A and B are shown apart, each in its own frame.
Chain A
Amino acid sequence: DTAVSQTPKYLVTQMGNDKSIKCEQNLGHDTMYWYKQDSKKFLKIMFSYNNKELIINETVPNRFSPKSPDKAHLNLHINSLELGDSAVYFCASSRDRGNQPQHFGDGTRLSIL
């Protein structure tokens, strides 16, 4: 059973399009995250939600909009995709806020043509 699952695994699209990435966790965790990993493997947090409430929003362009319909899901919608958005996006979850270990999905590789 996959604990944190993301779909799709690969996403290839053209500049200017709008796309969504879905994330679901079956761990019963309260907190979920989105990270961006660039081509040099550097990981940076984008957003975090706790019980459907936004708690971290790191200077991310407003073309990126997270949505948490319930605490088991955190989706990421991206408008007007740009070349610089090409990266691997990871979803993660933790039992609650603070220094709890985070469980990661396998990532979504987004390629902008």
Chain B
Amino acid sequence: GNSVTQMEGPVTLSEEAFLTINCTYTATGYPSLFWYVQYPGEGLQLLLKATKADDKGSNKGFEATYRKETTSFHLEKGSVQVSDSAVYFCALIRFGTDKLIFGTGTRLQVFP
């Protein structure tokens, strides 16, 4: 079946540290891949997306590259801020379906 696996959290970093949140997927065909972010008390917001192999999604200093050979879509940011503290969800939609399948989410805590 189709699934998304994310690293367990919480991830705790100091401000300006480098961030990596790992995400790997299992899917038949060629899925589109997404990162969503959920700030406390809010709904999910799309952070970035990639729709084919080797595509790089980027937004607000975050980046993720669609790696078909390793079935991965790791999220990175060069220098995190306290305001980046949130829960990050990796997700996929398999081509030809309408279901957005989420990973379990990774909580990021950034301290000053």
Contacts and interface: CB of A to CB of B under 8 A. Distances in A.
B100 interface: yes
B66 interface: no
Interface in B37-53: 38, 41-46, 49, 51
Contacts of A58: 99
Interface residues of A, number: 26
A43 B36 CA distance: 12
A113 interface: no
Given A90-B44, A107-B43, A97 B105 contact: no
Contacts of B104: 40-42
Interface string B58-70: 0000000000000
A44 B96 CA distance: 19
Chain B interface helix/strand/loop/mixed? strand
Contacts of B87: 41
A36 to B, nearest CB: 11
Interface of B: 31-32, 34, 36, 38, 41-46, 49, 51, 87, 89, 93, 95-96, 98-102, 104-105, 107
The 9 A-B residue pairs with the shortest CB-CB distance, nearest first, are A104-B43, A99-B32, A104-B44, A43-B102, A101-B46, A41-B105, A99-B93, A106-B43, A97-B98
Given A41-B38, A42-B105, 9 more contacts: A40-B104, A48-B99, A58-B99, A99-B31, A99-B95, A102-B46, A103-B46, A104-B43, A107-B42
Interface of A: 4, 31, 33, 40-45, 48, 50, 55-56, 58, 90, 92, 97-99, 101-107
